[in-house]
């Protein structure tokens, strides 16, 4: 018998993908292996389908995650997968596993967050499933989206010399989590304490509790007449996502540590927790920003965009193993291969 | 604070539905309230989206449910929702929450069942999500389907005098579950024992462990040139589903107990467990047969169909409360209002 930990999540998905036969339906355009599956809608339009499951005790801790924020986040992380295909979300379903400790009022709070997110992303809640659960809360969302055939953006189509861009800033969600975990430990040690998270830290907390899916960027790219050559959303950290783009596109990459966009609050909190802010950006995850590539000649259109940063460029793979062809270059001239963090099944 | 049990699953879904705003997307045709949501595809075709979550300890017990059967069943119950809209499934995603006791081999078994069902229903596995779970196994499937605009069948469009039909037979899955539960208790009392389920009981066990979604009936209705006036799949028992059809259509119904299709094995096992076979059919659930209505003049086309049985007819609601307008009529002339069983959240 083989432990799931020996395979890891990526290994497990790859194993499932390899065993999946070719599509039987002519309407299936893209199966396992990107942020969303792709199906035919009409002459000019493709449909997108994605799903994400959030499990209590693994993805969230209800001792500090308000249910309203959790509802919003569950929608946002699914919308983010549609944005990563350069599409917009249209419909979603919500499946809930609820243990008996949840009250009607708690479910109302969760749905208030879900509805707020549906309004924010202009997506319709059209169904779902509600069931009992023996242990904690489980939320599974499936979202459908649409994208023009000429705008769809896969992971596998980046080219050498493309400019690598990220939206927003990275690492903040991870430090927000560290702050929340520290508060929890202090509270457990002394239940009399008052929450002590300062106003300045509010940004980090918000990035953890209530991230945004970047559908705004999808619309802006359209307005700028830019179709990325490849795109992925940053759910597991920049390192892991960039490795996906390079592996699936057959490219290498060089990114520059000084170019990685990191908020001042992230720097301050990283210092306090003695974590490298670059490590938080590379491996922290849950930022739900977009990582995309564009041809070098398109960069002119984007270079003054306040929420898009160029962090490096794609290279030829040159026959190198995936683990050796994605390079982090420092100001001092050091070049280090980037490796992804592992994944382990819950205990 | 209000316990979820005071509301019940149907009450909870109704509460969520009432709070959901009107669709923002022009492509949304039908939201919460039917077996699947409906969205626009092209001039002649509608898309369907449905999702179902299966939770260990609530929906299945891995002490007697083989993972391969569980994978098949998880797909079948989702396909059944698409069939209930008179559609055919095209793509699906599988989200898995796995605790660390699951091995790679166990996941392979589960996916072998999922793939077998995908092949049986001609549907493509196109994606999903794999995550850790702190406790048991959670499976959440989302399925997309298609249906011709002229063939779509909702729950809310049955008419008085329509003939009420069911496919296959009812109550067997429930008695299969009783057999499996008894075996488990006997095994726990005496782990040396050998499984003692006879060949004759295999049908009941199979109905519980590996039910079929009735896409075959969807194709047959097409061939017979019949479009039902209303349809629903029987997941929670005939009583509950018939009440849904009547409530949503604004009709009443009369069904005849002697007409309800029940297999001989179900009768025998019901006798052994001292359960009324009619009660098993009405409230047992998990049969995943289809319940549909057709105009009386269409009945001629179906009356010799070996796997479709007419069990009664729709009536005017006549201002009666939903709980008083669905009637079970016995051979002896008794008329009893049918009520649905409640639902309670997990403990």
- Write out pLDDT tens, residues A186-210: 888 887 776 666 777 899 999 999 9
Name every chain B residue with its beta carbon within 8 A of the beta carbon of A59: 131
Count helices and strands (H / E) in chain B.
Answer: 10, 13
Residue range B146-171, pLDDT digits in tens: 999 999 999 999 999 999 999 999 99
Average pLDDT over every residue of B177-187: 90
Using a CB-CB cut-off of 8 Å, the residues of chain A touching B49 are: 91, 93, 126-127, 142, 144
In angstroms, the CA A173 to CA A171 distance is 6
Contact between chains at B142 and A39 (C-beta distance less than 8 A): no
Q: Which superfamily is assigned to B163-337 in CATH?
A: PurM-like C-terminal domain (3.90.650.10)
Residues A250, A238: Cα–Cα separation, whole Å = 18
Q: Can you tell me whether residue B98 is helix, strand or coil?
A: strand
Q: A4-13, A222-231, B334-343: lowest mean pLDDT where?
A: B334-343
* The pLDDT of residue A195: 63
pLDDT at position B320 = 86
Positive/negative CA dihedral, B230, B233, B235, B238 = positive
Question: Averaged over A239-253, what is the pLDDT?
Answer: 95
pLDDT of res. B315: 96
B153 and chain A in contact, CB less than 8 A: no
| Beta-carbon separation of B135 and A134 below 8 A | yes
What pLDDT is recorded for position B319?
85
Contact B25 A90 (CB under 8 A): yes
According to the model, what pLDDT value does residue B339 have? 81
Tens digit of each residue's pLDDT (9 = 90 or more) over B302-336? 988 999 999 999 999 888 887 789 999 998 889 99
- What's the mean per-residue pLDDT of chain B? 92
Averaged pLDDT, A276-290: 95
Q: What is the pLDDT of residue A190?
A: 84
Tell me how many degrees the CA angle B47-B48-B50 measures, rounded to the nearest 5: 155
Between the CA atoms of A213, A216, A217 and A218, what dihedral angle is there, to the nearest 10 degrees? 90
Interface of B with A in 261-290 (CB under 8 A): none
**Lowest pLDDT segment from A88-97, B84-93, B185-194:** B185-194
In chain A, whose CA is at the least distance from the CA of B89? A25
Q: Burial level of B131, CB count in 10 A (0-12/13-18/19+)?
A: buried
pLDDT over threshold 70, residue B25: yes
The answer to whether B318 touches B325, Cβ cutoff 8 Å, is yes
Q: How high is the pLDDT of residue B196?
A: 64
- Show the tokens assigned to A202: 């509010």
- pLDDT tier at A150 (50, 70, 90 boundaries)? very high
Using the predicted structure, report yes or no on whether residue A281 has a pLDDT greater than 70: yes
* CA distances for A247 relative to A158, A161, A233, A243, A250, angstroms: 10, 16, 15, 6, 5
Mean pLDDT, rounded, for A141-148: 98
- The pLDDT score that the predictor gives to residue A326 is 93
Nearest to A49 among B96, B126, B138 (CB): B126
| Residue B7 near chain A (CB below 8 Å) | yes
Band of the pLDDT at A342, cuts 50, 70, 90? very low
pLDDT at B3 (0 to 100): 86
pLDDT of the residue at B199? 72
* Residue A99 contacts B where some CB pair is shorter than 8 Å: yes
Q: Do B28 and A1 touch (CB under 8 A)?
A: no
Q: Report which of B233, B239, B185 is spatially closest to residue B211, judged by C-alpha positions.
A: B233
ipTM of the shown complex: 0.91
Does residue A127 have a pLDDT over 80? yes
Percent of chain B with pLDDT over 90: 78
Distance spanning both ends of chain B, measured CA to CA: 17
Q: Pick the residue with more confidence: B135 or B342?
A: B135
Chain-chain contact of A30 with B146 (C-beta, under 8 angstroms): no
Q: Which site among B2, B4, B100 would you substitute to test the A interface, given the most A Cβ atoms closer than 10 Å to its Cβ?
A: B4
**Do residue B124 and residue A28 have CB atoms under 8 angstroms apart?**
yes
Q: What is d(CA A302, CA A283) in angstroms, rounded to the nearest whole number? A: 26
Segments of chain A assigned to CATH 3.30.1330.10 = 4-148
A146 marked ligand binding residue: no
Measured between CB atoms, which of A19, A50, A124 is closest to B127? A50
pLDDT of residue B273: 95
pLDDT at A4 over 80: yes
B118 contacts on A by Cβ (under 8 Å): 24
pLDDT confidence of residue B189 = 86
- Element containing residue B295 per DSSP (H, E): none
Contact B57 A134 (CB under 8 A): yes
Interface probe with B: pick from A71, A91, A344, most Cβ of B within 10 Å: A91
Q: Say if B121 is an interface residue toward chain A (CB within 8 Å).
A: no
Residue-wise pLDDT for B220-246, tens only, equals 999 999 999 999 999 999 999 999 999
pLDDT at residue B346 in the model = 36
Helix, strand or coil for residue B118?
A: helix
pLDDT tens for B27-39 read 999 999 999 999 9
Predicted confidence at residue B237, as pLDDT, reads 94
Inter-chain touch B97–A16, beta carbons under 8 Å: no
Whole-number Å distance between alpha carbons of A180 and B54: 31
pLDDT surpasses 80 at B347: no
Residues of A in contact with B16 (CB under 8 A): 107, 111, 128, 130
What residue numbers of B does the annotated binding site for ATP cover? 111, 128-129, 155, 235
Q: State the CATH class of domain A4-148.
A: alpha beta
**Please, which residues 24-43 of chain A have a Cβ atom closer than 8 Å to chain B?**
24-25, 27-28, 30-32, 36-37, 39, 41-42
Higher local confidence (pLDDT), A82 or A14: A82
Cα B343 to Cα A100, A121, A132, A289, B289: the distances in Å are 12, 33, 9, 41, 21
The whole-chain average pLDDT of chain A stands at 92
Give the range among A46-50, A237-241, B130-134, B225-229 with minimum mean pLDDT. B130-134
Separation between Cα atoms, residue A291 and residue A244, nearest integer Å: 11
The beta-carbon neighbor of A132 closest among B49, B51, B58 is: B58
Tell me, what's the pLDDT at A7?
Answer: 82
CB contact under 8 A, A53 and B138: yes
Mean pLDDT, residues B266-286 taken together:
95
Nearest to B91 among A19, A25, A126 (CB): A25
Domain with CATH 3.90.650.10 in chain A: 163-337
Q: What is the DSSP string of B134-179?
A: SSS-EEEEEEEEEEETTT---STT--TTPEEEEES-SSHHHHHHHH
The beta-carbon neighbor of A105 closest among B1, B54, B344 is B1
Annotated binding site of B: 35, 50-52, 59, 81, 111, 128-129, 155, 233, 235-236, 286, 343
């Amino acid at each position: 018998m083989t432990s799931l930990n020996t395979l890891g999540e990526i290994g497990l998905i790859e194993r499932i993908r390899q065993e999946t036969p070719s599509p039987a339906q002519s309407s299936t355009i893209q199966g396992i292996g990107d942020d969303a599956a792709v199906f035919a809608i009409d002459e000019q339009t493709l449909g997108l389908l994605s799903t994400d499951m959030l499990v209590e005790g693994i993805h969230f801790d209800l001792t500090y995650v308000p249910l309203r924020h959790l509802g919003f986040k569950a929608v946002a992380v699914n919308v983010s997968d549609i944005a990563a295909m350069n599409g917009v979300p249209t419909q979603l379903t919500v499946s809930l596993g609820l243990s008996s400790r949840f009250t009607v009022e708690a479910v109302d709070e969760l749905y208030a967050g879900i509805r707020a997110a549906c309004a924010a992303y202009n997506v319709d809640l059209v169904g779902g499933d509600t069931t009992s659960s023996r242990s904690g809360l489980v939320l599974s969302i499936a979202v459908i989206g649409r994208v023009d055939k000429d705008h769809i953006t896969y992971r596998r189509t980046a080219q050498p010399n493309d400019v690598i861009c990220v939206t927003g800033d990275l690492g903040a969600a991870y430090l927000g989590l560290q702050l929340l975990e520290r508060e929890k430990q202090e509270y457990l040690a002394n239940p009399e304490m008052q929450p002590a998270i300062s106003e300045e830290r509010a940004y980090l907390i918000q990035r953890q509790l209530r991230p945004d899916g970047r559908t705004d960027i999808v619309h802006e790219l359209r307005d700028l007449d830019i179709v990325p050559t490849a795109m992925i959303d940053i759910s597991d950290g920049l390192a892991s996502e960039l490795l996906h783009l390079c592996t699936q596109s057959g490219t290498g990459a060089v990114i520059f540590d000084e170019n990685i966009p990191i908020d001042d609050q992230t720097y301050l909190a990283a210092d306090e927790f003695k974590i490298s802010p670059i490590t938080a950006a590379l491996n922290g995850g849950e930022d739900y920003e977009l990582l995309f590539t564009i041809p070098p000649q398109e960069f002119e259109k984007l270079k003054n965009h306040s929420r898009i940063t160029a962090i490096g460029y794609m290279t030829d793979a040159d026959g190198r193993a995936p683990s050796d062809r994605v390079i982090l270059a420092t100001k001092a001239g050091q070049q280090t291969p980037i490796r992804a963090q592992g994944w382990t099944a819950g205990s």
